[in-house]
Structure 1
Amino acid sequence: MTNSCQTPGGRHQLKARKVRFDLDQTPLHWIPGDALASYMTNAIHLLLPEGELWFCRVYNKAAPLVTDAGLRDDVDGFIRQEAVHSRVHTSAQSYLNRHDIDCEPYLARVRFLFKTLLGEAPFGMKFLQFKALERSWLVTRVGIIGAVEHFTGILGQWAMDNTSWNKADPVMADLFKWHLAEEVEHRTVAFDLHRHLCKTRLGFYVSRQLLMAFVFPLFIYFVFSGTRFLAAQDKDPEVRKIGRFGFLRMTRRMERCGKATDHVPAFSFLVKATLRWLSPSFHPITEGDTRQALDYIARSPAAQRALAEAS
């Protein structure tokens, strides 16, 4: 089975890594002179902790259904990595709190998404727990994770190639680049798991397209709404105007920011990546460079610091 755990040196095992990030001196606008890009990336701290714990819950339920030993190992490694990612971004919420950002209203929306809308029994619909439907709902949620992981994978490769953060706060830049490097490393696991659990090739193709049609607008909504939510609490009246941006204006600003500064990917970058997903022959192995990601992980200051403290 093709998977992201292949390098020129052979297959390797996904593993969770110890890291430590000290954000005490990190400014709120951690990308100098670019409040929009700073808030667009900081919004990830609000979205991911609950989302990645949800990934772990879904995968723990799916793991017993996996009959391929290599894929099962990858799923186990994926769960461990995502659990660490969740803890890191949860700790980053304290950094936002120190800058007088009240995260709770937005976090309530995120909890609703992952615990109510995408939980075991959405809106109390316990019939989804009946044996005849339970597996279908589980596979659907595995497919949703596969669509989300397409974006984290392509954003990961964007971050590996990106040099514009070299002048940004080094700790926050390392946090995102370390995380996104691991997203490149495990970029095919969710896709392969969804394919493994689908009964037919046609069913898999149709399912992943329908789920992407759900995930893409939802992903954009939460990134944009998180950006507006954070910017609306800024002390600078000019920056607070971002909190009133509509969808089209936010899209244009993201596109302009991406092309002019590369502080965030251009909106068209995400659209093009979504169009590649439409191909019947698509596989995420072509969407990133595993060796490049592993090289960054090896030199990540946070990973090196954690190793030094453990020795």
Structure 2
Amino acid sequence: MNAISKSMVLEPRNEHFHFKTAERDWHGGDPVKTIIFNAFSIMFPEGEKFFIDSVRNFQKQIDDPVLKKQIKGFIGQEAVHTREHIEYNKQLDLQGYSATKLDAGIKKRMDWVRRNLNKNRQLATTCALEHFTAMMSDLMMSDPAYLDGADSNYQKVWLWHAMEEAEHKGVAFDTLKAVTKNKDYFLRCRSMLISTVLFNYFILSHITVMLKDRGLSRSPKVWWQVAKFLFGKPGLYRRMALPWLSYFKPSFHPWDHDNRSKVARTEQHVLGDGQAYA
């Protein structure tokens, strides 16, 4: 654990968001931007259950009282995220999307990982995927362009999720360090490479299916808009490239990037006065 990681106090914020079926294109009336975010939401219920399980596998082996407390906070935060994204995804079904079918695909993959990878590899997979959520969270907290024009309720659920992902971004990583006695470098690098391929395969699959659900999947213009959002402007994936590469530094730690001020600003926006968060 580095100095910042040791200082983090993790308390789940038991927020309840109210999703409405009528808000089909909640991102400023833009179905493409909406579907991109919806594609990520599909990943969370089963993904975060897996994250909880992979860290909980080692909970009793951790001696550090700070990390033990952080693991408890991590599990609490991820459990609330799971609950809220289940509700979010229920609305996707009601809006005519194949959310339940896509969720089943994620569950099948996570169950395969549980059966076929040892607990260290499961935890390393969680570390890799937590780095993805940390990178995306930092971008959403940094640049209003990602959620400009979005319905306020959906904007808040994404920012609430982002700030808590940022807060606990070091927990799985510190747990892996502890249980492998810092002999984790090749394990976490291999897991990141595999997780990157699979994560993006599922995201692209979700986008494709949901565009098809809307009758938009054959439109070159629509796919250009998808590419522009991810790789052009605002460029979600383009701007994640360097932070992704940083994971492969032998000395890497998630808190090498100190974004506590962004978390505090975002919390004020989501739970406080509602003013601009960046």
**Is the pair's TM-score, using the shorter chain for normalization, greater than 0.5?**
yes
Give CA deviations for 1:105-143 in whole Å, capped at 9, x if unaligned.
Answer: 21221110112x112x33xxxxx7xxxxxxxx1111111
1:152 equivalent to 2:133? Answer: yes
1:274 equivalent to 2:244? Answer: yes
1:157–1:288 CA contact under 8 A, matched in 2: no
Q: Kindly state the Cα deviation for residue 257 of structure 1 after the two structures are TM-superposed.
A: 2.0
Q: What SS does the corresponding residue of 2:213 show, helix, strand or coil?
A: coil
Corresponding residue of 1:180: 162
1:283 equivalent to 2:220? Answer: no
Corresponding residue of 1:125: none
Q: What SS does the corresponding residue of 2:218 show, helix, strand or coil?
A: helix
Provide structure 1 residue ranges, at least 5 long, that are not aligned to the other structure. 123-127, 129-136, 306-311
Corresponding residue of 2:148: 166
Quick one: distance in 2 between partners of 1:156 and 1:23? 21
2:45–2:83 CA contact under 8 A, matched in 1: yes
1:160–1:293 CA contact under 8 A, matched in 2: yes
Give CA deviations for 1:246-305 in whole Å, capped at 9, x if unaligned.
Answer: xxx96x75452246542xx4322233222111111211112341232133224415x899
AA in 1 matched with 2:160: W
With over 3 angstroms needed to count, the CA separation of the structure-2 counterparts of 1:288 and 1:177, relative to structure 1, is: farther
Quick one: distance in 2 between partners of 1:173 and 1:184? 16
Q: What SS does the corresponding residue of 1:240 show, helix, strand or coil?
A: coil
Corresponding residue of 2:206: 226
Aligned-residue CA RMSD (Å) = 2.6
1:185–1:294 CA contact under 8 A, matched in 2: no
Quick one: distance in 1 between partners of 2:198 and 2:253? 22
Corresponding residue of 1:241: 218
Quick one: distance in 2 between partners of 1:76 and 1:46? 25
With over 3 angstroms needed to count, the CA separation of the structure-2 counterparts of 1:269 and 1:26, relative to structure 1, is: farther
1:141 equivalent to 2:113? Answer: no
> Hey, which bits of structure 1, 4+ residues long, moved more than 4 A?
3-6, 252-255, 258-261
1:2 equivalent to 2:2? Answer: yes
1:214 equivalent to 2:194? Answer: yes
Larger Rg: 1
TM-score by length of 1: 0.80
Q: What SS does the corresponding residue of 1:241 show, helix, strand or coil?
A: coil
Quick one: distance in 2 between partners of 1:32 and 1:197? 45
Corresponding residue of 1:133: none
1:40–1:224 CA contact under 8 A, matched in 2: no
Quick one: distance in 1 between partners of 2:236 and 2:8? 33
With over 3 angstroms needed to count, the CA separation of the structure-2 counterparts of 1:255 and 1:269, relative to structure 1, is: farther
Q: Kindly state the Cα deviation for residue 88 of structure 1 after the two structures are TM-superposed.
A: 0.5
2:141–2:159 CA contact under 8 A, matched in 1: yes
Corresponding residue of 2:42: 46
Alignment coverage as a number of residue pairs: 273
Provide structure 2 residue ranges, at least 5 long, that are not aligned to the other structure. none
Corresponding residue of 1:67: 63
Give CA deviations for 1:213-252 in whole Å, capped at 9, x if unaligned.
Answer: 1111111111111111111111xx4x2326x99xxx96x7
With over 3 angstroms needed to count, the CA separation of the structure-2 counterparts of 1:254 and 1:102, relative to structure 1, is: closer
* Matching residue within 146, 152, 174 for 1:192: 174
Q: What SS does the corresponding residue of 1:300 show, helix, strand or coil?
A: helix
AA in 2 matched with 1:59: V
Quick one: distance in 2 between partners of 1:294 and 1:65? 32
Q: What SS does the corresponding residue of 2:148 show, helix, strand or coil?
A: helix
AA in 1 matched with 2:130: E
Quick one: distance in 2 between partners of 1:253 and 1:208? 33
Quick one: distance in 1 between partners of 2:51 and 2:98? 25
**Identity %, equivalent residues:** 23
2:81–2:161 CA contact under 8 A, matched in 1: yes
